A = this chain, B = another copy of it.
Amino acid sequence: MTESHKPGFSRCNNATLRRAARSLGRFYDDALAPSGLKGTQFGLLFQIHVSSEPAMGTIAEALIMDLSALGHTLKPLIRDGYVETFADKDDRRVKRVRLTPQGNVKLGEAIKLWSAAQQQFEDKVGAEQAAKLRAALDAVADLDLEMPAAAPSL
């Protein structure tokens, strides 16, 4: 094989994906820094924004993240007053989420910063390519992967 690993050319799809995520994450984080939000928080606020007072579970599902992880990630946003939660009228187990007025303002502020980063990125890779990449990533994310074995009957 010889050259099996220039800088980071791993064959592991997962490792490659994480590496790219760290790299791009830093870029977006830097761009959003002036707003005080991280890329993840921006994404979360945006998701809440485009949904209609979504339930925690709904958000978690959309973002493919663990429900408890979502709860944790939401805490600083609630603490900082950007988001608030309230119980669902019909099912008290359900907790819904919405942006506060402050949250809306902050989101608007962040969107401007995000746009610059997004634009920068698309200028570099091309809008077409970027769209294709996102499509590929969404496809991967939605793959119904599952290791065979374990779980025959039950």
Q: What residues of chain A have their CB less than 8 Å away from a CB belonging to chain B?
A: 4-5, 7-25, 27-28, 30-31, 39-40, 42-43, 46-47, 50-51, 61-65, 114, 116-118, 120-122, 124-125, 129-130, 133-134, 136-143, 145-148
Contact = CB atoms under 8 A, between A and B. Distances in A.
Contact of A11 (B134, B141, B147): B134
A123 to B, nearest CB: 10
B43 A14 contact: yes
- Tallying the copies of this chain within the complex gives 2
Given A15-B39, A64-B19, A120 B136 contact: no
Contact of A141 (B24, B28, B145): B24
A125 B141 CA distance: 12
Contacts of A139: 125
A8 B124 contact: no
A23 B51 CA distance: 21
A147 to B, nearest CB: 5
B13 A18 contact: no
20 contacts: A12-B114, A14-B27, A14-B28, A14-B39, A14-B43, A15-B43, A16-B133, A16-B137, A16-B141, A17-B20, A18-B40, A18-B43, A19-B64, A19-B137, A19-B141, A20-B141, A21-B21, A30-B147, A116-B147, A125-B140
